Each structure stands twice: as C-alpha cells, then as structure tokens.
C-alpha cells in the first residue's frame, strides 16, 4: 500500500497502479461490516459474467516479417507468454470462461488450454467480418468480442463488463498520441455523440461513425478492438452479419462496416472512453513495446 501511495504521489496519476488497487468488495470483506456489504449490494454496479468470449486470431501479421514466418501473430511471445494466452488469462480473471478462438494462418500452431477453436481457412486477404462470421453461432447471450493482437490493462475489461447497454465498445480518447507514432495498419477512428470528459455526471456517449479516414476535427477516439454485448446486442450483431454477408464485397468488410451498419439501422452503440493503457501488436516496434507492457 505504501508503494502504491508513493507511486501515485510521484507520478500524479493512478493510471499505472489501477490493476493493483484493492477492489471495494475486498475492503468490505476485510472490514467484516454488514452495513458495508448491504451498501455494496445497493450501490455497486451488478453484472452477470458473459457466457463467452470470441477472439479473432486468424491473421499472420505480415508486418512482423520473419517473426510470424511459422506462427501467427496471436502466438508471438510477449514477455515469454504467447499473446493469445495473455488474452485468455485476462478473460478468465474476469470470470469469462467459455472462450472461442477463430484461427486461420498456421492454425495448428494456435493452441490454448480449455479453449474452443473455429477455423477460418479463407483468412488470407480477407476482412475481419469473415472471421467473425465463422463464429456466427457463438455470438449468443452476454459476450465479449476481441481482436487477438491487443494488450490492455485488466481494469479496462472490468469496466467494460459492468456497462449495461446492449453493445459497448472501448475507445481510446488519447488517439493523437498513437497517431504521432505513425501507427501502421488499419485504424478504427470514431466520432461519438460527445467527446471524452472528466466530468462524472456526463451523459453516456454513443457511436455516430467509425472509419480510418475521418478528419481530425471529427475524431473523438480510436476503437481498441474490444466489444461487450448483452443477449440483445449479440442478436443485433448476428443479424447485421447475416445482412452484410449477402454483399458481394463481404470478404473485404471490416468492423467499421459492421458498426456503421448498426448505427444506420438505429442500433445504439455505447462508447466507453479510456485513456491509453493498451496497445496492439502490428509491427516490430509494437512488439518491442509490448515486452515491457
């Protein structure tokens, strides 16, 4: 506790210690105070653990060069542990137990304990929605959908899970920091009904548009590749996939196509703003940065 306090004082921020801060529930337990436990039931947000997670891990990761010559990006070691295994551990730490992984490139190398696998044999040169469509029948009930090449602090997932809207996406409001590094790859910028704010009483933000080519003045953040859904949200996403899969260009469609379709049909997609504390592994520079994440 003293070390945590010292670090907060030195850095003037709680961002780097959020995962180490004792949950309110644990404080209540240590105090053994019945009135506090009753207050927890009344005031703390309640959630059901999502019944499953879907991780999209079909791509090779060509920008990583020889690193992915024999293994897909999701199995590249980060600090000695495959990226996919880190994701699986984070989901299980949040009580997300039923996990489906969509694999494609070097599929036999994509392994993780107690995980269900779905194959996307048509992974090369196709968009993300084709991979998600392979797991169409797993998009059911409360769920998390995640890219397979991202790292994030545990509190981001925990905060996402307690949101109650039917579809919620995690969006980094500090998108300009990443843009300054000339980020490689496809970037999902978003415009929302309001920008990020430190005010605690702000109304929830909702997605208005997503795409890689939004003008800077319209950008409110970057979607990090995490989605949380309720049963109704899963149905909406599944129905949207069914419609989009009839398009001749479906093989090339990406998540911005899905989200813009949802918004266009009147589906509300909540934006949960975060401020950094995540990264995606697109190239060798990202991989080097991930080793110290």
Domain 52-290 fold: Spore Coat Polysaccharide Biosynthesis Protein SpsA; Chain A (3.90.550)
pLDDT over threshold 70, residue 173 = yes
Domain parsing of the chain, residue ranges = 2-43, 52-290
pLDDT of residue 81 exceeding 80, the answer is: yes
> Taken in order 172, 162, 226, 233, is the CA torsion positive or negative?
negative
Give dist(CA 132, CA 54) in Å, integer: 8
Q: Are 44 and 89 in contact (CB under 8 A)?
A: no
Q: Nearest 10 degrees: CA dihedral of 246, 213, 183, 91?
A: -40
Model confidence at 199, in pLDDT bands (50, 70, 90)?
confident
pTM reported for the whole predicted model: 0.84
Stretch 190-206: mean pLDDT, rounded? 93
Q: Which helix (H) or strand (E) holds 159?
A: helix 154-162
pLDDT over 80 (residue 290): yes
Tell me the pLDDT band of 275, cut-offs 50, 70 and 90. very high
Closest to 68 (Cα-Cα) out of 292, 281, 278 = 281
Give yes or no for residue 9 having a pLDDT over 70. Answer: no
Predicted pLDDT at 1: 55
> For position 106, what pLDDT does the model report?
95
């Amino acid at each position: 506790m003293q070390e945590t306090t010292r670090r907060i004082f030195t850095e003037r921020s709680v961002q780097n210690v959020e995962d180490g801060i004792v949950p309110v529930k644990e404080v209540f337990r240590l105090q053994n105070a019945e009135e506090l436990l009753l207050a927890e039931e009344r005031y703390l947000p309640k959630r059901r653990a999502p019944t499953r997670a879907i991780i999209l891990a079909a791509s090779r990761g060509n920008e990583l060069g020889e690193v992915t010559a024999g293994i897909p990006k999701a199995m590249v070691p980060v600090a000695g542990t495959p990226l996919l295994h880190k994701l699986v551990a984070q989901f299980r730490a949040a009580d997300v137990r039923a996990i489906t992984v969509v694999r494609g490139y070097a599929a036999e190398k994509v392994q993780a304990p107690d995980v269900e696998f779905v194959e996307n044999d048509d992974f090369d040169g196709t968009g993300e929605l084709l991979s998600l469509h392979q797991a169409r029948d797993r998009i059911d009930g409360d769920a998390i959908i995640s890219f397979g090449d991202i790292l994030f602090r545990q509190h981001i997932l925990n905060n996402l899970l307690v949101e109650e809207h039917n579809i919620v996406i995690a969006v980094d409001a500090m998108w300009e920091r990443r843009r300054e590094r000339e980020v490689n790859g496809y970037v999902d910028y978003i415009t929302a009904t309001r920008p990020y704010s430190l005010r605690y009483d702000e109304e929830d933000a909702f997605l208005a548009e997503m795409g890689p080519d939004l003008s800077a003045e319209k950008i409110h953040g970057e979607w990090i590749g995490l989605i949380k859904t309720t049963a109704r949200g899963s149905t909406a996403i599944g129905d949207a996939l069914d419609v989009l899969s009839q398009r001749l260009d479906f093989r090339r469609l990406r998540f911005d196509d899905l989200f813009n379709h949802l918004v266009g049909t009147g589906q509300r997609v909540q934006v949960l703003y975060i401020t950094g504390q995540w990264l995606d592994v697109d190239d060798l520079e990202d991989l080097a940065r991930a080793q110290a994440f």
